[in-house]
Structure 1
Amino acid sequence: MHGPTLVNWLLALLTAAAGASCLTRLRHSPCAPAGAHRPLARESDAAEALMGLGMAAMAVVGAGVPAAVWAGLFGLPATAFLLAAAHAPAGRAHRLHHAVGALAMTYMALAMAAAPGPHHHTAGLGLPPLTGALLLYFGGYTLRAGSRLLRTSAGTLAVGTAGLPQACRLTMGIGMFAMLLTM
């Protein structure tokens, strides 16, 4: 992306770990639905794995990959999530969140491609009002995900693997916020 090299690599490590965790959950979850929400959980795991690994790749190689590749990688899933949200009421908010995330990644890739020269410490890429709106969205999402991680139905701290999906969502929100902040 556009920040200092150390920050880019730390962001890449953080989001790659979250993406790999989501990919592992997807791979090891049973194929037969264990409940009405199991297919939605698998869809969410797949989307979060794509986003985590994609954010890691974008943080490291960024403008080294053509914008059309990034647009295809994130634009197609964004379209699929928007269509799924329009046609299926179950999980609509979650699908819309994944669509916003994928569209934000597409937006960042296109903004990087449109900026001339090297992207280190470059301010003002993209459209400031849109970047600000996305920062507000992902900042709020991160605060919400963090508060959900700290609370359980019993009012205690979520520990162990029970809080892992929420921790991955928190990590992705932090990663997206950091990437947008460097624009």
Structure 2
Amino acid sequence: MKALFYWLMDKVVWALFVVPALSEWLKDKESTPWISAAFDWVNRHAVGLLGEPAFPWIAGTLLGTAIGVLSHRLLVWTVRRITEDRFEKFDSLSVDVMLHLYNSRGLSADTDVSGLMAKVQRLFTALQNQRVTTPNLPKGDPVPTLTAYINYIRPFIEDRDIRVLRQRAKEWVTAQVKTRVD
């Protein structure tokens, strides 16, 4: 119903602007007078229906509604674009960490972990900036915890819903803390 309302408001507002201009342009061309007459009839009929004294008020209301709809669409598009950029970053950083883990085939005592930890820190910082809970990695071997955490949150990153991602990450970290305590 909402989409139908937006579509109708969009068409009515454009018709109020386009019909008189198109009618005058067609009169200048004189190629198809019946089309111009049809547009004139539509415009006269709309003015007759609304009444000339009320026409500016109704046209103003329709114009205001159209501007509101356009502003809403612009706001939704902007928020969606910002959200997409944020999740693209999460996705890229988590893939970087997983690829580093896969390519290193785990960590041993002689493996340099500074590159991995830098990638992990970038991922965790990006997540924490959006108030997503991240785990405290154990001192010994952080790979199992890190792999489990990233594998758990990846589907929620792909869903592109920050509220669900925050909730699920918090649940995972809480469950891990409880299992460590037990």
TM-score, normalization by structure 1: 0.30
- Give the number of the structure whose residues are more often helix, by fraction: 2
TM-score, normalization by structure 2: 0.30
